[in-house]
Amino acid sequence: MSAALVWTAIHPAQAITLNGFDLSKTDIPANEILSGGPGRDGIPAIFRPEFDLASDAAWLAPSDRVLSIEIDSDARAYPIRILNWHEIVNDIVGGVPVVISFCPLCGTGMAFDRRAEGKPLTFGVSGLLYNSDVLMYDRETGSLWSQIMMKAVSGRMRGKTLRLLPLDQTTFADFKARYPSGKVLSTRTGHMRDYGRSPYREYAYSPLLYFPVSNRDERLQTKEPVAGIVVGGRARAYPIRWIRAGPGRFQDRIGGTVLEIEYDKDADLIRVNDSAGRPIPVVRAFWFAWAAFHPRTEIFSSGN
């Protein structure tokens, strides 16, 4: 959402729609659904993504951040330079219909299997926010979906969930080294945007929020970057500054699940696996966003 736009609250007694979405029945407080400024599709999602081979993506610097996913040997990278302007990419990776989502206000990049009720949905940007996080919508039913909650909060799909997929937030250099034949989302998006400029650069380094959130947690600084995971219904946040200063590889435990946490310093990449080597999705986020959606989250310390 544009940093220059001001939030607008909804008062249910006066209105039950916003941006054309029916808010009369929602799983979240309707008066906490806010307009980020642009209308429905004012931030254009990408529906027909084009890709270049990693070896041909000369416009990217080695240190540029990308969201990377690999399914059945099909590896793809989505530069945050592009996602800052589009927030959502509908794609098919390794035969799986996926949606790649990025909320610049929360710093959250998340990938989902976009099938619900056995059919793939097509997602766009609603122009609405909840807890400063993007509300996606599906074009098939007009339902609103919370990115961080991973579920529909209004419409016919209300209560349905999306399956979170493992996703790396890493450097272009790391992606290219891991996947020499990998594909990179092209700037041929069909839209005129300055992909060399981030509209959120100042926001990321400011302690200020543009939109209110329902839960403010002062245990960490507002926009401190964390890596969040949920295991067995328990949420835990790992301050990235601690991980960067730590041993690079360490174990943790949530309930009966042993976790192997691995940090690649050069790529600033965090991966988490269970004891059987199965990947556990990691959500990198600003602390305020993780805490807003996980008010009971634990914070990792060496004494856990």
What tens digit of pLDDT does each residue of 37-46 get?
Answer: 999 999 999 9
Please give the DSSP secondary-structure letter assigned to residue 177. H
Is 11's pLDDT higher than 50? no
Residue 1 has pLDDT above 80, yes or no: no
Of the pLDDT bands very low, low, confident and very high (cuts 50, 70, 90), residue 204 is confident
Q: Is the Cβ–Cβ distance between 66 and 78 less than 8 Å?
A: yes
Q: What is the pLDDT of residues 238-293, one digit of tens each?
A: 999 999 998 999 999 999 999 999 999 999 999 999 999 999 999 999 999 999 99
Residue 240: burial class (beta carbons within 10 Å; 0-12, 13-18, 19+): middle
Inform me whether the pLDDT recorded for 4 exceeds 70. Answer: no
Task: Examine the pLDDT at 195 and tell me if it is beyond 70.
Answer: yes
Mean pLDDT of the chain: 93
pLDDT at residue 8, as a whole number: 45
Q: Is 32's pLDDT higher than 90?
A: yes
- For 84-95, the pLDDT digits (tens) are 999 999 999 999
- Candidates 148, 291, 296, 272; CA nearest to 222 is 291
- Name the band, by pLDDT with cuts 50, 70 and 90, for residue 15: low
pLDDT at position 163 over 70: yes
**Residue 62 phi, psi dihedral angles, 5° rounding:** -55, -35
CB neighbours (10 Å) of residue 53? 12
> What pLDDT was estimated at residue 7?
41
Q: Coil, helix or strand for 86?
A: helix
pLDDT of residue 156: 96
Q: Is the pLDDT of residue 154 over 90?
A: yes
For residues 215-230, give the mean pLDDT.
97
pTM (two decimals): 0.93
3-state secondary structure of 159: coil
Query: CA-to-CA distance for 145 and 152, rounded, in angstroms?
Result: 4
In degrees, to the nearest 5, what angle opens at C-alpha 296 toward C-alphas 295 and 297?
95
Decide the pairing of beta strands 74-79 and 65-71.
antiparallel
Q: Which amino acid is at 192?
A: M
- What is the rounded distance in angstroms from the CA atom of residue 52 to the CA atom of residue 184? 5
Q: Note whether 133 and 32 are within 8 A (CB).
A: no
- Mean of the pLDDT values across residues 119-133? 98
In the DSSP assignment, the letter for residue 279 is B
Share of the chain above pLDDT 90, in %: 92
**With 50 as the cut, is the pLDDT of residue 13 above it?**
no
Give the residue with greater pLDDT, 12 vs 208.
208
Q: How far apart are the first and last CA of the chain?
A: 37
